[in-house]
Amino acid sequence: TDKLLKADKKHPSQWAHSPALGFVTACPATCGTGMALQVTLKAPKLSKRPDLAALASRAGLKLLEGEAGVKGDLVTLLCPSPLGVSEVECANKTLDAAAYLCKHEKMLAGGRGQLWLWDDHPRVCVTGAPSGDKRAVARAVAAEFGCVLVSASGLLREQVEAKTEVGVTVAKMMREGYFVPPGVMAGLVAERLGLPDCQSKGWVL
């Protein structure tokens, strides 16, 4: 305070002051309610998931950046937006979000470790120029979000190797220099995307 007063004499300015509270200051990050809430959860399953930050955001919390966010089994989150809400609303929002994450931690502990936890499973179709490395992009997206990677060419290859009716037809067409009809390809892709793993985890095509 002394340093501030000395600086104020050199560069006169007005400071918010209350007879009861003294100089009133607030961090810009907590403008609004003037209160920041932080919660730390012991979540050994959630802490190992690559989609933790996205799941926390969906719950209304923000995962602290860097090593402060996840330390071993401990997950530390912050209520990110105090603007436009009261202290009570901020506290309730944090409690509700913590309960939401605890519910999903129990789901994982109960054996749902391979399932996507969101209600709206990600469905991603990677497109681009023929020269672009779409396959590498698709692999990276699938790895980041824990989705199933679906390859149209891979589906055709599986059919040919298994010598299914579709596979035999496709192999013959390819030997004769014909393109695979779009309807055949669409049918294989639609069937693959309807399998339980794609429905429970989401997919990248």
CB atoms within 10 A of CB 167: 17
Q: Is 136 annotated as a binding residue?
A: no
Q: Is 40 annotated as a binding residue?
A: yes
Q: Is 180 annotated as a binding residue?
A: no
* Bridge partner list, 23: 17
Q: Is 62 annotated as a binding residue?
A: yes
Q: Is 9 annotated as a binding residue?
A: no
Quickly tell me which residue has 């794609």 as its tokens: 198
For CA atoms 22, 27, 31, 35, the dihedral sign is negative
Q: Is 38 annotated as a binding residue?
A: yes
C-alpha–C-alpha distance, residues 127 and 202, integer Å: 17
Task: Say which residues have a Cβ less than 8 Å from residue 116's Cβ, sequence separation at least 6.
Answer: 51, 122, 146, 147, 200, 201, 202
Q: Is 61 annotated as a binding residue?
A: yes
User: What's the alpha-carbon Rg for the chain, to the nearest Å?
Assistant: 27
Asked if residue 163 lies in contact with residue 109, where contact means CB atoms within 8 angstroms, the answer is: no
Strands 123-124 and 62-63: unpaired
Reported residue count of the chain is: 205
Q: Is 37 annotated as a binding residue?
A: yes
Q: Is 156 annotated as a binding residue?
A: no
The CA–CA distances, whole Å, from 158 to 97, 104, 164 equal 44, 35, 9
Binding residues for ATP: 36-40, 61-66
Binding residues: 36-40, 61-66
